[in-house]
């Protein structure tokens, strides 16, 4: 399994998982408007896109999953409780999908949104906005369907995973070097809080610092209704 980080100079992370022997690929959190470049990369490398996966319903950008599905016939994969339309493959907690000789396993990780999930593929963990790198902590829980107390409880999920797994987050500063879960256990403040009160006060500071999400009014309806008519490509 190879992991390619696409658009590494951006805050919103997109990953392409490639099963070397079969040349089958899965894309995680492709962003509408730059997905044509993702498709070029897929074609140039002679890959067969099988899955376009959204880790959750994004509030800050429009997903490219439904357009990738239309253009390539791949499955659009999300967690089974999502309200987003256009999804063709709903996954449940602990369910696996096969990608050539590789296995992708999905874990329910709600809190940032109610439909957030984490994906494990070999020694790699794709965490979406459930977990970021180091000081960045985790995604904010004050956007639609976000609930801090649920996110805090979901962090227990990480107890199932060993230190050596590489964490690939959904957002981090441009060109961030992704780190292992063990490194994050030492360096991510959120993984070192002792109780929910500490977590909640950290979240509240984040909400103040981050302020309003610029694209929320267009991104949420576009993602829920699989409709990009308000989005210029």
What are the residues binding Fe ion (CB under 5 A)? 58, 129
Question: Are 18 and 124 spatial neighbours (Cβ–Cβ below 8 Å)?
Answer: no
**In the complex with Fe ion, which residue's Cβ is closer, 129 or 141?**
129
The distance of closest approach from Cβ of residue 112 to Fe ion in the complex, given in angstroms and rounded to an integer, is: 6
Closest separation in Å from C-beta 24 to Fe ion: 27
Cβ 194 to Fe ion, closest distance in Å?
A: 26
Q: Contacts from 82-89 at CB under 8 Å and sequence distance 24+?
A: 82/56, 82/57, 82/115, 83/57, 83/115, 83/224, 84/54, 84/57, 84/115, 84/223, 84/224, 84/226, 85/224, 85/225, 85/226, 86/226, 89/51
Residue 57 or 102 with smaller CB distance to Fe ion: 57
How near is the Cβ of 45 to Fe ion at its closest, in Å?
28
DSSP 26-59: EEESPBTTTHHHHHHHHHHTT-EEEEEE-SS--S
Smallest gap, in angstroms, from Cβ of residue 23 to Fe ion?
Answer: 30
Q: Which of 10, 21, 184 is nearest to 2 (CA)?
A: 21
**Chain residue whose CB lies nearest Fe ion:** 129
For Fe ion, give the closer residue by CB, 31 or 158. Answer: 31
Cβ proximity to Fe ion, 19 vs 129, nearer residue: 129
Pick the closer one to Fe ion by CB: 71 or 204.
204
């Amino acid at each position: 399994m190879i992991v390619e980080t696409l658009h590494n100079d951006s805050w919103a992370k997109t990953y392409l998982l490639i099963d070397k022997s079969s040349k089958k690929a899965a894309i995680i959190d492709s962003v509408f408007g730059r997905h044509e470049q993702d498709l070029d990369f897929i074609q140039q490398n002679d890959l067969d896109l099988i899955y376009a996966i959204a880790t959750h319903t994004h509030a800050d950008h429009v997903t490219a999953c439904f357009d990738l599905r239309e253009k390539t016939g791949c499955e659009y994969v999300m967690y089974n409780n999502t309200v987003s339309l256009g999804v063709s493959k709903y996954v449940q907690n602990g369910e696996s999908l096969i990608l050539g000789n590789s296995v992708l396993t999905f874990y329910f990780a709600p809190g940032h949104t109610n439909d957030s999930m984490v994906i494990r593929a070999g020694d790699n963990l794709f965490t979406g906005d459930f977990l970021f790198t180091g000081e960045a902590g985790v995604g904010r829980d004050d956007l639609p369907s976000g609930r801090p107390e649920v996110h805090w409880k979901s962090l227990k999920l990480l107890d199932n995973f060993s230190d050596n797994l590489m964490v690939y987050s959904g957002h981090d500063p441009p060109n961030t070097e992704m780190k292992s879960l063990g490194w994050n256990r030492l360096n991510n403040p959120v993984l070192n809080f002792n109780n929910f009160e500490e977590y909640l006060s950290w979240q509240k500071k984040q909400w103040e610092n981050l302020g309003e999400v610029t694209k929320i009014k267009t991104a949420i309806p576009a993602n829920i209704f699989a409709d990009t008519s308000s989005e210029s490509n």
